[in-house]
C-alpha cells in the first residue's frame, strides 16, 4: 500500500462474506475439547499438538483417546506450575522474552508476496535482454515546472520513435545519459537484478522490437527498447589482473603497458600462478589481495566488453588474452560459472528468495505486510491538518520547549491501533532523533511521517503478535509451557528421584524382581575418531596385556574415548550374534554420520541370567521411581482439579478424519 492513510475498505457483499466465514471458523476453533477447573483447552490446540507429536501411524478414535490421556496429564502439570507461580520466575521470563524476540521476526514477512516475487525472478531470469535507453534527467527536488519540461522532452522522443526514427538517432540528440555519445543509447544486455526493480519491470514488460512509453522514476524519465533477447548466461566468478595506464599516459606509455600485459599472458600460459601474479602486479585495489578474485556477478554488472570476454571463456581455469579498456589491460581467469536455475525446485526457490530479501524489490513484500498489519490492527488515522503538523515539526527544531501550534498540541492523537494511541509528542520525539538521517536522505516531513507510521505499525504488530497470529501464539505458548513443565518436573519429580537415596533403596527392595542381568560381559568399550585409529588401537591391545589399555588409550589422546563396565551382550558394539569369548576383540563398527569407529575388548563373560544389585540397577530404579512419583502426583492433581472431556467434540475429531479420508479417496 503506497499510503496507509488512503486505505479504503468496500463495505459490501465481498467484504461481509469473508468476515462471516472468519467468524464461523473462529467459533469452530474455539470449541473446547476438555476443561480443567473450567478453563478450556480448544480442539484446535489439541490437534496442533496431536499432529506434531502423535506416534500412531494411522489416525483412529483410539489414537485420539490415547493421546488425549497424555495431553491431559501434560496440561495438569502445566496448570500446577502456573498455580505455583513458576511463570513469574525471572529466568522463565527472560527465556520466554528471548525466544519471542528470535521467533517473531520469522512472522514479519508476507510469504505470499515473497513467493510471487521469487516466481517473478525465476521467470525473468530465464532470459537476458539487449536494451536501448533514453534518459531524461530531472534535478534533485524537481519543481512542477522541472517535471513538466522533462515530460515534454520525453514525449518528444517518444513521438519521434513512433514516427519511425531510429532509436540511436533519437537517443543521441535527446538522452541525458553521459554514455550516449559512445553507445547511442544501447546499454547492452541486462538480466534480473541488473536494474532497479521498477526499471527491470518496465524492461521485462516489452517484447523484442518494442519500446516503452516514457516512465517517470525519481531520477527522471526513461524510454526502453528491447532489441533482442537470449537464453540467460547465468552468473560467473572470475579473477583479474589489471595493468592500469598511468595518469595522462602517452601513446608510448600505453604501448609499454600492452607489451607488459602480453608478456604476463605468456607467463600465465606457461604455468605461472595467476593469484600470485595478481597479488604482485594487479592495479585493482579491491581484488589484488584476494588473488584477483571478483565477487560473483551476472550480466549488466560490468562493462559489456569485460563481460563478453569473461563469459566467452569456455571452461574453469581458462585465461583470456589481455583486454583493453579505458582503465588499462585486463587479464581474466574464469573460476566458476553457474547457469540460472531451469527448475524452480526447493533449493532454487530458497536461493532466489534470499536474493529477493537482499534486494530493494523486497519493499513490495514489505508494503503487502504493512497493508495486512494496518487492517489486522484496526489502524485509524485521526483527522488533523497536515500543514499544521509540518509547521509544528519545523518550529520544534528551533524551540524544543514548544508544546502547541494552532490546532495541535503535544497530546493530540495522530493515529491509533487496537489498544494504543500515538500523539504529536511521540512524532516530534521521533523526528528529532531522525534529524541527521533525514538531512542525508533529503526526506520531506511527509516522507518521514510515512516512515514513522510504518515503523510504529511494525513495532506494534510485533509486540502484540500473539493476538494477530494464531501460529505464533501456539508456538509461544508451547515454548512457555514446555519450560514450565521442565521446571515443575525438576522440583516435583526429577530432583527427588535422583537425590533421595533412602527412597530409592526402599523402592529397589520392594521391586527387586524387576532388575536382572541378561547374558552379559565385563568389557572395555572404545570409540575412535576414525577406522584407522581403531585398527591401530586394536592391534596394540592384541600385543599387550590388558592392564595397559588405559595407557594405550591415553597415548592416542583426544582421538579415543574409552570406558569400562558390565554390559548386556546387546549393548556391546560389533558383537552381533557372535558368541563372546574372554580376551577377544569385536570388529570395529563405523558410525556413518561422523565416521567414528567403535569396538570392544571382552574381559569376562556371564552366560547365565542373574539379579542386579542396587548399584548396577540404580539407573533403572531412578527411571521407575520417577514414573511412580509422577503417577502419584497426577492422581493428586486429578483430585485437585476437575477435568471434563466433551465427548461430542472428541467424537467429531474422528468424523472429521473420516470425512477428510473420503475426500482424498475421491480425488
User: Hey, do 235-338 and 516-611 end up sharing a CATH topology, with the first three levels equal?
Assistant: yes
In this structure, are residues 598 and 526 in contact, taking their beta carbons and an 8 Å threshold? Answer: yes
Q: What is the pLDDT of residues 159-207, one digit of tens each?
A: 999 999 999 999 999 999 999 998 999 999 999 999 999 999 999 999 9
658 or 38: which leads in pLDDT = 38
Angstrom CA distances, 504 to 124, 284, 443, 509, 623, stand at 70, 74, 73, 9, 10
**Is the model's pLDDT at 344 over the cut of 80?**
yes
Per-residue pLDDT at 539: 85
DSSP helix/strand/coil, 215? strand
Mean pLDDT score, 440-446: 79
Confidence of residue 25 (pLDDT cuts 50, 70, 90): very low
Per-residue pLDDT at 1: 36
The answer for residues whose C-beta is within 8 angstroms of residue 426's C-beta and 6 or more apart is none
Rg of the Cα atoms in the chain: 37
The DSSP annotation for 589-629 comes to: EE-TTT--EEEEEEEEEE-S-EEPPHHHHHHHHHHHHHHHH
Q: What is the pLDDT of residues 478-498, one digit of tens each?
A: 999 999 999 999 999 999 888
Per-residue pLDDT at 570: 87
**Is the model's pLDDT at 137 over the cut of 90?**
yes
Confidence of residue 577 (pLDDT cuts 50, 70, 90): confident
**Is the model's pLDDT at 99 over the cut of 70?**
yes
* Number of residues that make up the chain: 667
CATH class of 235-338: alpha beta
Instruction: Just give the CATH number of 127-231.
Output: 3.10.50.40
Q: What is the pLDDT of residues 256-308, one digit of tens each?
A: 999 999 999 999 999 999 999 999 999 999 899 999 999 999 998 888 899 99
Mean pLDDT score, 102-130: 94
Per-residue pLDDT at 16: 30
Q: What average pLDDT is seen over the chain? A: 89
**Is the model's pLDDT at 666 over the cut of 60?**
no
Per-residue pLDDT at 556: 58
Least confident range of 47-56, 233-242, 431-440, 600-609: 431-440
Angstrom CA distances, 98 to 270, 488, 661, stand at 59, 21, 41
**Is the model's pLDDT at 6 over the cut of 50?**
no
pTM score: 0.71
161-178 in b/e form (b: 16+ CB < 10 A) is beeeeebbebbeebbebe
DSSP helix/strand/coil, 211? strand
**Domain residue ranges in the chain:** 127-231, 235-338, 378-463, 516-611
Per-residue pLDDT at 139: 92
Give me the residue label for grid cell 516475487: 117
DSSP helix/strand/coil, 636? helix
20 or 618: which leads in pLDDT = 618
Alpha-helix runs per DSSP H in 175-244: 180-183, 197-204
* Backbone φ/ψ region at 378: left (φ over 0), alpha (ψ -120 to 50), beta: left
CATH class of 516-611: alpha beta
Compute φ and ψ for 133, nearest 5 degrees.
-145, 130
DSSP helix/strand/coil, 643? strand
660 or 629: which leads in pLDDT = 629
Confidence of residue 11 (pLDDT cuts 50, 70, 90): very low
* Backbone φ/ψ region at 456: left (φ over 0), alpha (ψ -120 to 50), beta: alpha
**Is the model's pLDDT at 26 over the cut of 50?**
no
Per-residue pLDDT at 657: 60
Amino acid at each position: 500500500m503506497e499510503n496507509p492513510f488512503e486505505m479504503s475498505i468496500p463495505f459490501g457483499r465481498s467484504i461481509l462474506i469473508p468476515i462471516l466465514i472468519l467468524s464461523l471458523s473462529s467459533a469452530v476453533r474455539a470449541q473446547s475439547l476438555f476443561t480443567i477447573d473450567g478453563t478450556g483447552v480448544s480442539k484446535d490446540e489439541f490437534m496442533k499438538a496431536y499432529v506434531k507429536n502423535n506416534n500412531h501411524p494411522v489416525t483412529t478414535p483410539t489414537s485420539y483417546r490415547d493421546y488425549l490421556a497424555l495431553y491431559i496429564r501434560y496440561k495438569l502439570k502445566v496448570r500446577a506450575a502456573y498455580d505455583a507461580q513458576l511463570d513469574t520466575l525471572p529466568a522463565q521470563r527472560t527465556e520466554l522474552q528471548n525466544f519471542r524476540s528470535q521467533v517473531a521476526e520469522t512472522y514479519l514477512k508476507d510469504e505470499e508476496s515473497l513467493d510471487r516475487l521469487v516466481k517473478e525472478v525465476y521467470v525473468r531470469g530465464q532470459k537476458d535482454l539487449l536494451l536501448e535507453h533514453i534518459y531524461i534527467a530531472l534535478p534533485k527536488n524537481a519543481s512542477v515546472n522541472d517535471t513538466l519540461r522533462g515530460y515534454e522532452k520525453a514525449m518528444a522522443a517518444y513521438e519521434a520513435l513512433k514516427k519511425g526514427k531510429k532509436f540511436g538517432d533519437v537517443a543521441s540528440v535527446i538522452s541525458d545519459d553521459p554514455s550516449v555519445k559512445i553507445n547511442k543509447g544501447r546499454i547492452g544486455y541486462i538480466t534480473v537484478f541488473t536494474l532497479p526493480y521498477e526499471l527491470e519491470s518496465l524492461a521485462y514488460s516489452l517484447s523484442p522490437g518494442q519500446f516503452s512509453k516514457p516512465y517517470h522514476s525519481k531520477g527522471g524519465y526513461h524510454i526502453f527498447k528491447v532489441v533482442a533477447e537470449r537464453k540467460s548466461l547465468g552468473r560467473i566468478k572470475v579473477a583479474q589482473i589489471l595493468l592500469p595506464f598511468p595518469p595522462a599516459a602517452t601513446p608510448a606509455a600505453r604501448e609499454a603497458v600492452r607489451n607488459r600485459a602480453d608478456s604476463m599472458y605468456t607467463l600465465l600460459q606457461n604455468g605461472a600462478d595467476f593469484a600470485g601474479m595478481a597479488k604482485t602486479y594487479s592495479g585493482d585495489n579491491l581484488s589484488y589481495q584476494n588473488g584477483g578474485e571478483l565477487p560473483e556477478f551476472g550480466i549488466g554488472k560490468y562493462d559489456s566488453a569485460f563481460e563478453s570476454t569473461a563469459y566467452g571463456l569456455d571452461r574453469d581455469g581458462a585465461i583470456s588474452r589481455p583486454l583493453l579498456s579505458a582503465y588499462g589491460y585486463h587479464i581474466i581467469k574464469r573460476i566458476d560459472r553457474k547457469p540460472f536455475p531451469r527448475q524452480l525446485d526447493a533449493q532454487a526457490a530458497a536461493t532466489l528468495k534470499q536474493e529477493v530479501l537482499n534486494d530493494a524489490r523486497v519493499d513490495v513484500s514489505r508494503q503487502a505486510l504493512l497493508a495486512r498489519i494496518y487492517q489486522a490492527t484496526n489502524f485509524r488515522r485521526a483527522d488533523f491538518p497536515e500543514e499544521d503538523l509540518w509547521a509544528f515539526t519545523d518550529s520544534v527544531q528551533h524551540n524544543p520547549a514548544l508544546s502547541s501550534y494552532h490546532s495541535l498540541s503535544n497530546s493530540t492523537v495522530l493515529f491509533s491501533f487496537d489498544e494504543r494511541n500515538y500523539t504529536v509528542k511521540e512524532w516530534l520525539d521521533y523526528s528529532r532523533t531522525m534529524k541527521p538521517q533525514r538531512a542525508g536522505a533529503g526526506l520531506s516531513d511527509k516522507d518521514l511521517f510515512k516512515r514513522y507510521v510504518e515503523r510504529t505499525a511494525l513495532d506494534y504488530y510485533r509486540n502484540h503478535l500473539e493476538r494477530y497470529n494464531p501460529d505464533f501464539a501456539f508456538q509461544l505458548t508451547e515454548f512457555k509451557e514446555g519450560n514450565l513443565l521442565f521446571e515443575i518436573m525438576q522440583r516435583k519429580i526429577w530432583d527427588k528421584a535422583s537425590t533421595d537415596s533412602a527412597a530409592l533403596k526402599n523402592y529397589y527392595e520392594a521391586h527387586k524382581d524387576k532388575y536382572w542381568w541378561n547374558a552379559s560381559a565385563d568389557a572395555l568399550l572404545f570409540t575412535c575418531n576414525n577406522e584407522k585409529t581403531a585398527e591401530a588401537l586394536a592391534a596394540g591391545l592384541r600385543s599387550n596385556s590388558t592392564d595397559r589399555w588405559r595407557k594405550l588409550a591415553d597415548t592416542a589422546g583426544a582421538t579415543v574415548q574409552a570406558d569400562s563396565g558390565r554390559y548386556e551382550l546387546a549393548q556391546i558394539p560389533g558383537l552381533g550374534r557372535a558368541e563372546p569369548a574372554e580376551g577377544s576383540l569385536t570388529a570395529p563398527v563405523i558410525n556413518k554420520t561422523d565416521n567414528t569407529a567403535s569396538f570392544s575388548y571382552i574381559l569376562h563373560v556371564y552366560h547365565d541370567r542373574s539379579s542386579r544389585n542396587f548399584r548396577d540397577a540404580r539407573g533403572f530404579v531412578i527411571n521407575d521411581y520417577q514414573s511412580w512419583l509422577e503417577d502419584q502426583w497426577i492422581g493428586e492433581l486429578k483430585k485437585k482439579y476437575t477435568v471434563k472431556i466433551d465427548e461430542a467434540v472428541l467424537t467429531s475429531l474422528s468424523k472429521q478424519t473420516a470425512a477428510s479420508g473420503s475426500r482424498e479417496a475421491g480425488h
